[in-house]
Amino acid sequence: MASDLASEIKKRRTFAIISHPDAGKTTLTEKFLLYGGQINLAGSVKGKATARHAVSDWMEIEKERGISVTSSVLQFEYNGCCINILDTPGHQDFSEDTYRTLMAADSAVMVIDGGKGVEAQTRKLFKVCGRRGIPIFTFINKMDREARDTFDLVDEIEKELGIATCPVNWPIGSGKEFKGVYDRASKSVLLFSDTQKGTKEGKEEIIPVDDRERLAEKIGEEALDQLLGEVELLDGASVEFDQDEVDHGRLSPVFFGSALTNFGVEVFLENFLKMTSSPLPRVSDQGVIDPVERPFSAFVFKIQANMNKAHRDRVAFMRICSGKFDAGMDVWHVQGGKSVRLSQPQQMMADDRHMVNEAYAGDIIGIFDPGIYSIGDTLCMPEDKFRFSGIPTFAPEHFARVRQVDTMKRKQFVKGVMQIAQEGAIQIFQELSGGMEEIIVGVVGVLQFEVLQYRLKNEYSVEIRLEQLAYEHIRWIKNKDVDLDRITGTSDMKKIQDLKGNPLLLFVNSWSIGMTLDRNEGLILEEFNEE
């Protein structure tokens, strides 16, 4: 029985896909699903109204805007592996959701547009991966379009992101001149032929690099000479592949291809599955929790309300960290301090879901949430009662006062705002003296205000007015015994509290923070709140 558990856990791979918007992340995700036999025809977020929407985007606003707003969880089997993909929002306004999702992943796939290279959002997301030291695999996409110089692209990844790279394959040309890729391990060339969009067919011809005559016939003498010159340079200058360096997030294997035409996607997937690990141990307040040795444990990394319009439900997504999950099992909810039954367990394929009877460490499951879970909560067996290290709350950078238009809809307004806040997309603050009559909403990116307005109207039938505030900086007060009335601040400072009653300070200018600390000896202010 124990060996069955170990083999089930060993075959799991749980990774997140990160990128700047429009780098082709959703297309790549779809092609993975295509190879896993989950979908027969890959759709596209953008394009004609008749085109199928990407399976990983389910919220209406995502389909309208062509962006991923929430993180989807997709599972499929491929070559004896059970793969859990965490598809993250590409838009920078939703980076906090991406951060939480990365907490649930064991590795990350970074998609880069070959024509644009490292972009702003890629840098931000990469820092998050670096902070956790998780393995990063790079897929340089859109080689069937005009791309930048290959050496420049690889050099930029190293310089901008501060990580060594090891190209596993190397492109031959780009755009109209894109001929295929050279595989460094087998010393052979995989030829590119434009596959029919949305299929996994397409002829892939493999020619050993020393079969010069046949290769020259296929790609031309000039392209072959250039390839041989670049490969010689690459072999002399690039870092050797080192699995240990990859495992510690210090070396990123680099692959080239085109997700849209499917070229290089399966090669990437096969190599990635060999190079990435099965579920890793997790840190708790009782030491490291081994995925195989310890019984069931999990933590909540995402809460989503109203995924099913017919049922108005809430789903808590949890990453299983150890052991085996059985439907209907009783577990200990550490933060709630009580035993709970995990009912209606489900796995997702965008808004299509199915009930599961069992799941293992590495898997992501959604559990019906009656309103008791928060992001970062630990669930374990009653005899264990340990707590996984918390997920930090990011400091919002944009603030607005929110009021409902129709005062008769007070109840729906409070319920809607509270539920959306529990998902972690927004943070709610109150005046020190006020109740929920007037609230201040804080977000990491301004687009989240639009999503809040849209969701309150569509899911709770509540219209709101937003009054943007000038504050840009927020700090949690860490002194438990501080007397708020006695804090001397600056004219641009505002005292508020979060929903748990924790005191906070808002500032318009960053220099006001230092001035306030100078004026109040012993005051401790924090940018993150880890509770």
Q: Are residues 73 and 137 in the same domain?
A: yes
Task: Residue 333: give its domain's CATH number.
Answer: 2.40.30.10
Q: Are residues 25 and 40 in the same domain?
A: yes
Span 426-451, pLDDT tens digits: 888 988 766 666 789 988 777 778 88
Q: Are residues 407 and 352 in the same domain?
A: no
pLDDT at 243: 93
Q: What is the DSSP letter of 244?
A: H
Q: At what angle are helices 221-237 and 212-219 packed, to 10 degrees?
A: 110
pLDDT at 353: 62
124 contact partners, CB below 8 Å, separation of at least 6:
92, 95
Q: Are residues 431 and 507 in the same domain?
A: yes
Please, what's the b/e burial string for 23-59 (b: 16 or more CB within 10 A of its CB; e: otherwise)? bbbbbbbbbbbbbbebbeebbbbeeeeeeebbbbbbb
3-state secondary structure of 46: coil
Span 394-427, pLDDT tens digits: 678 889 999 888 888 888 888 888 877 877 778 8
487 occurs within a structural domain: yes
**How many structural domains are present in the chain?**
3
188 occurs within a structural domain: no
How far apart (Å, rounded) are the C-alpha atoms in residues 117 and 137?
15
126 occurs within a structural domain: yes
Residue with tokens 């099913």: 308
Q: Which one, of 374, 360, 387, 382, lies nearest residue 289 by Cα?
A: 387
pLDDT at 38: 61
365 occurs within a structural domain: yes
Q: Are residues 367 and 434 in the same domain?
A: no
pLDDT at 355: 77
Q: Are residues 311 and 448 in the same domain?
A: no
- Identify residue 159 by its one-letter amino acid code: K
Q: Are residues 263 and 367 in the same domain?
A: no
Q: Are residues 480 and 499 in the same domain?
A: yes
Domain limits for position 341: 282-380
Q: Are residues 268 and 296 in the same domain?
A: no
Span 9-46, pLDDT tens digits: 999 999 988 887 777 777 888 888 787 776 554 443 33
Task: Residue 93: give its domain's CATH number.
Answer: 3.40.50.300
3-state secondary structure of 184: coil
Q: Are residues 248 and 264 in the same domain?
A: yes
User: Against a cut of 0.85, is the pTM above it?
Assistant: no
146 occurs within a structural domain: yes
219 occurs within a structural domain: no
Q: Which two tokens stand for residue 373?
A: 């879970």
Q: What is the DSSP letter of 362?
A: T
pLDDT at 215: 87
139 occurs within a structural domain: yes
pLDDT at 40: 52
Q: Are residues 262 and 306 in the same domain?
A: no
> Which residue among 255, 275, 295 closes a domain?
275
pLDDT at 71: 41
Q: Are residues 129 and 262 in the same domain?
A: yes
Which residues does the chain have with pLDDT short of 50?
41-59, 61-71, 90-91, 93-94, 196-198, 201-202, 311, 350-351
> Which residue among 322, 351, 380 closes a domain?
380
pLDDT at 334: 93
Please, what's the b/e burial string for 218-255 (b: 16 or more CB within 10 A of its CB; e: otherwise)? bbeeebbeebeebbeebeeebeeeeeebbbebbbbbbb
269 occurs within a structural domain: yes
